[in-house]
Structure 1
Amino acid sequence: MKKIAFIFPGQGSQTIGMGKDFFENSKIAKEMISKATQRLGIDFEELLFEENDNLGKTEFTQPAILLVSSIANAIFKDKYKIKPQFVLGHSLGEFSALVSAGAIDYLDALELVHKRGLFMTEACAGAGAGMMALVGLEDSIVEKICEEQRKSGKKVWAANYNMDGQLVLAGLKADLESLVDTFKEAGAKRAIVLDMSVASHCELLRSAVENLKPYLEEYLKEEFVIDVISNVTAKPYNTKEEAIELLSEQLVNPVKYKHSISAFEDKVDVFIEFGNGIVLKGLNRKITKVPTLNVSDMDSLAKTIEALNE
């Protein structure tokens, strides 16, 4: 049997209509969405399947993505019995990974990431926060520029290490905008300020850290069934104590996604991405030669199971 790892996408993977194929074809999906609606008082059928403005708001985006990822994973587990070597997620996706690892119930996780989204929004309210995508620069060059700019008073940090030559920055939008030409002069092929009002994985979220901790304490279980790879350290953890510290620090530290994949690619034969779209599958093509399958609807579920049986 193949050795596999489960991986879960983060914010930015959402689209209207995500999870609808699961909902229309799976009792598991219908039940999970119904229970989520009851628990949070959010109409998830409306949020996921109908045109609305809420799906783009962090406090709604996060539970929506986690719910669809957890549904995809639950349906897969129902159809195919296999224990992964480890699980990991990109940013918010680490919470979906925790659900898969048995570290938290999915309903508790939905409540948790809804709170997380609110705390992130509150921390950045009125601050003029933003994020920027950079393509074509080495990490060390970006880090050096950010460090120099912070010394001169600007608030900019590396936030997501997605793959070689692709980094996302976080900080004050005005400061990021002022550095577009600086990064291009340094050799960036693209430097694009994103349409976001929250600055993830940087010091602007420091106030959210202490707000989140009590909920981590309340909802996380003591023991995990599977190791989770931390975004902060790119190393495995499997206890509640570690999780509370690492998930709190994840808010203000960069996501080491490419480091995590590279560090553990030799432990598996295949990665499987669970949730909407194929964002991580696309990144993995540039990071590793280990293939990535995906489960985003019933058709991709069938194809993934077929590939695992080959």
Structure 2
Amino acid sequence: MNNSIFIFPGQGSQKIGMGKDFYDNAPLAKKMIEKASQRVGFDFTALLFEENDRLDQTEFAQPAILLVSLIAHRLFSEQCKVIPQSVLGHSLGEFSALSAASAMDYLDAVELVHQRGLLMKEACEGINAGMMALLGLDDVSVENLTCKERELGKKVWAANYNGDGQIVIAGNKDDLASLEPLFKEAGAKKAVLLPMSVASHCPLLSSAQPKLEEYLEKWLKESFAMPVISNVTASAYQSKAEAKRLLSEQLVSPVKYKQSILHVENATDSFIEFGGSVLKGLNKRITQKPTHSITDMKSLDEVLALL
């Protein structure tokens, strides 16, 4: 396991109580949460540990997930000096990966993804944006169907390639709903509208790109400790200029998660997921290589014991 790749979950992995065990048992985690609360001006302990409806809103979900991921990573790194071959994340998780690669201070990353969430929310206001999960259709079928429907005026795009037969599409919610019978007819086992008010990774977010680029210019560092795998290209990059361009493109381009894992799997003997276990589930459908998830002190100790 000394030849690992570090991976970081994206939006949809959030749940009330995440990070609580770290907060209760690790002074470093408590300090990171307190500093993040001061930085963005809202209380992460209330957001993470108390029942609320804000944790599902993109501008709060994004910094919450990133913060818990980076706490898990920092606690691991304090006790283990394994340097990963590369790092990657799913959508938002790419920002966690950048911070883990020392390309961005964690507090800058927390503020950046909070602002990214606000920009995404603003871009989708008044356009009835949504996302739909499709199970049982191959990539080419989904691409052909959505392409054909766009030619007919529908706003629908492939957004996340999560695994064989598991794709998320984004666009106008009414357009997505209207295509459910078409997808079922083509062989989809499921076509389910997700509880999302944004349409991630499609051209509907283009208005958010210029401002995001300004934040990236402000907070990204020039050098990275290790390569980061891009969601847009499924290939590695390791410079501020590339990061700025690729993370802006990531807003309007599909997440090539499956392709990213396949690209790196021969260079590693395992994956370590920080702050969630969603990617562990996806990886089971993509690769034979094991994925170990760190979500609390117990799982942290278990992964450290394997090294």
Bin of the TM-score, shorter chain as denominator length: over 0.9
For 1:115 and 1:13, the matched residues in 2 are separated by 19
Pairwise CA distance, 1:2:
2.2
Deviation by residue 1:172-210 (Cα, 9 ceiling, x = unmatched): 000000000000000000000111110000000000011
* Corresponding position of 1:280: 279
Pairwise CA distance, 1:136:
0.2
SS at 1:161 equivalent: strand
CA RMSD of aligned residues (A): 0.6
Deviation by residue 1:222-243 (Cα, 9 ceiling, x = unmatched): 0000100000000000000000
* Corresponding position of 2:226: 226
* Corresponding position of 2:18: 18
* Corresponding position of 2:248: 248
Please show how residues 75-224 of structure 1 align to structure 2 within 5 Å.
75-224=75-224
* Corresponding position of 1:62: 62
For 1:2 and 1:40, the matched residues in 2 are separated by 36
Paired residues of 2:131 and 2:198 also in contact (CA < 8 A): yes
Counterpart of 1:127, as a letter, is I
Paired residues of 2:123 and 2:204 also in contact (CA < 8 A): yes
Pairwise CA distance, 1:307:
1.8
* Corresponding position of 1:302: 301
Pairwise CA distance, 1:305:
1.1
Specify every segment of 5 or more residues in structure 1 that has no aligned partner in the other structure, as ranges.
none
Counterpart of 1:266, as a letter, is N
Calculate the TM-score normalised by the size of structure 2. Answer: 0.99
For 1:65 and 1:256, the matched residues in 2 are separated by 20
For 1:285 and 1:213, the matched residues in 2 are separated by 34
For 1:97 and 1:66, the matched residues in 2 are separated by 9
Counterpart of 1:17, as a letter, is G
For 1:5 and 1:257, the matched residues in 2 are separated by 14
Q: Percent identity?
A: 63
Pairwise CA distance, 1:60:
0.5
Deviation by residue 1:266-300 (Cα, 9 ceiling, x = unmatched): 00011000013x10001111100111011100000
* Corresponding position of 1:289: 288
Counterpart of 2:176, as a letter, is L
Residue-pair matches, total: 307
